[in-house]
Every structure is written in structure tokens, then in C-alpha cells.
Structure 1
């Protein structure tokens, strides 16, 4: 597909991928591998979603702090932490490239099964995914990704709002996410998916209040 033609197919971050679309507007990971674009995109249930503009400063600060804490905590353990850009393929039917219609790039993810890692990224559900909201991508994170993360069996999905200095943990229970209370500056949060990991939100949000 030519670059200009592909750009016309890209959904804005606020677009609803469940809207009525023709079958020939749906794409797979096999298609994704052939694209050459100037901007990063994600594929959610066959629809192309444009990434928001470059992350803002607080977004980067939060990402670095949390990924650094996870890296130190996981040193010597089976789990690994990865940060965007890092392709996570979420197969539902099979792991064949032509059958995978969701490829996302979480801000931070932890994968504890080494067999899910290959040279292209992760194939299968990470144990923990952390998304940091950015202006213009909130609907994609809170609705579109929520649904595919839940369906694919990601054990925990953390959502961080930098401007409000809040964190919500969605924990998968019997196939459905259960949301925690809203955590904020002063709280310490523990992960069930990454046993033993505790994040101090004072350290995460201290530069932002």
C-alpha cells in the first residue's frame, strides 16, 4: 500500500474502531509488516489508529521512573520489562501473522513468559500493561485498548493520568476487569501480576504537584 493511501486509512485517536466499516478496510499484522510510515500506528481489531503526538515531559518522566523501578526489581527474575516502541501482538484465533488483527505499543509492559518474546516483540498477552494517558488518546486507551486487553487475557492493566496524578489498576478476574479505587500521590500500589512489586506514587508524581 502506498504511503498516502495508507495515511487516508488511519483513524484519529478519538475514532471508534467498532463503527461500521467495509471488510476491505480491515488489516492484519501481515499487512502491518509491509507498511512504511513516518508516524507510529497501532492496529486494533483490524483498524489503524494513529499514535498521539510525541509524549509530553511528564509522560516521559513517569515512564522512565516506573520502567526503571521495574527493571531493577526484575533483575535476575524471569520477567522482563519493555517500553514503547515495542510491538505487542494480541492473537485471539491463532499466532499466524495473517490472523492477528491487533498490534499495540503499550507505554510499559512486563512479560513473564520467555516463549512470548521474539525478534519482533511480544506475541501473546503480557502479564502487566501500563498506559500513560496523553492529550488526544484517552478514548483509545480507556475504551478501545481496555476491550482488547481484557479479551486477550492481560492480567493487569494500569492507567495513569499525569495531569491528575492518579492511577487505576484493572485486574482480570474471571475474564473481566475489576477496577481498583483511584490511587494518587502518597499511595503505594502493589501488583498482583508481578508478585512483590510495589510502586510508591510519591516518587512517581512528586515533580508534578
Structure 2
């Protein structure tokens, strides 16, 4: 099983200041399930997600997949999957939705912004998830961004309006988080954080 150190060594080696393009990264890095993103050419690796983090991903993706499939609206995928925003910027959202009229962007990776991205805030990545990814997703045109905060047990839904994210709503326990992009889709916040109740 690969470790982050093995992955970093395979990618970065002795040249830790090197900037990569996505194509260079694919050519030099072994295929892996470890989270690895490209921020302005810099390889950023993360620890394997926690069990709780992955439970949240599973609960969210299950509900979204089930709903999107019934409505025949597009495709849902969980990370790690590369969302290639540019040659030097590659993100891996925890959950992603691509609308059926944009399925042509799906190949080995997702070549362009997804329509809806979900990030589960990790303990070590709070600023990156809440601020940096938000700004990047906004800049590249991800239409809807769901930010799931396990510590606060909240779900924020941000919608792109005239090139800027606006808060659709902040949902708490006992509420159903809703989507502007996918009218009718609901994620019960209590179920998301505490499982079936």
C-alpha cells in the first residue's frame, strides 16, 4: 500500500521546488487512491481521509446518486477523481455532479469544472476547503458548491451568480439542505452527520 511519503517521493523526488503540468504529473506519478491535487503546478498531497470523513462522502454521494439517476440528470462520482481546471490546477472534490448536457467533459478525468462540487471540511484543511477551494471553484465556474462542516455539523450551499458565489443557505441539524441547481434534491442534515435516525 502506498504512503504519502512514497507518493511524494515518486512525484517530487529531490526536486521539491518543481512545478508540474497535469500531463507531466500523469506521466511521472503512479496511479494512486491517495488525495493529490495540483495548485499552480505544486503537488499537494493529503493524508488518507478518516473513516468519519468517508462516511459523510458515502452518505452524501448515495443520496445524490440515487436522486440524479432517477431524474436522469447526469453523473455523480466520488473522489479521488481529477477535475482538471487548467494545466497547472487540478482539484479532487469529495463528491461531484456533471449534468447530462456536459458529459463530454468526462474522460480519464473530468476536463473542466463540474456543475456541483461537495467538499467535506477536513481537520487539517479547513482554510484550504473553506477559502482557497471556494475561490478556485468560483473562478473556474463550478455552478454550485456544497461545504460540509463535520465540526459545526452544518452544510453551506453556495450558488454562482454573475461569476460570484452567493450563499443559498446554511443548513443545520433537523433541516433538509436543498439545491438551487437541482430543484427537488434534499439532503437531511441529521442523516448526513448521524446516519439514519
Q: Same fold (TM over 0.5)?
A: yes
- How far residue 181 of structure 1 moved from its aligned partner, in angstroms, is 4.2
In the other structure, the counterpart of 1:170 is 158
Deviations 1:30-58 (A, max 9, x none): 1111232575310022222112x222222
More contact order relative to length (CA 8 Å, sep ≥ 6): 1
Deviations 1:50-100 (A, max 9, x none): 12x222222111111110011111115131100011111113xxxxxxxx2
In the other structure, the counterpart of 2:3 is none
In the other structure, the counterpart of 2:5 is none
Residue 3 of structure 1 contacts residue 36 of structure 1 at CA under 8 Å; is this kept in 2? no
- How far residue 207 of structure 1 moved from its aligned partner, in angstroms, is 4.6
- Unmatched tracts of structure 1, length 5 or more: 11-23, 92-99
- Unmatched tracts of structure 2, length 5 or more: 1-7
- The CA distance in 2 between the partners of 1:180 and 1:192, in whole Å, is 8
Partner of 1:159, secondary structure, is strand
Q: CA RMSD in A?
A: 2.3
- How far residue 161 of structure 1 moved from its aligned partner, in angstroms, is 1.0
TM normalised by structure 2 equals: 0.84
Residues 95-174 of structure 1: pairs in structure 2 closer than 5 A: 100-112=87-99, 113-118=102-107, 120-174=108-162
Indicate how the Cα distance of structure 1 residues 46 and 127 shifts in structure 2: closer, same or farther if over 3 A, else same: same
Tell me which of 54, 70, 73 is aligned to 2:48: 54
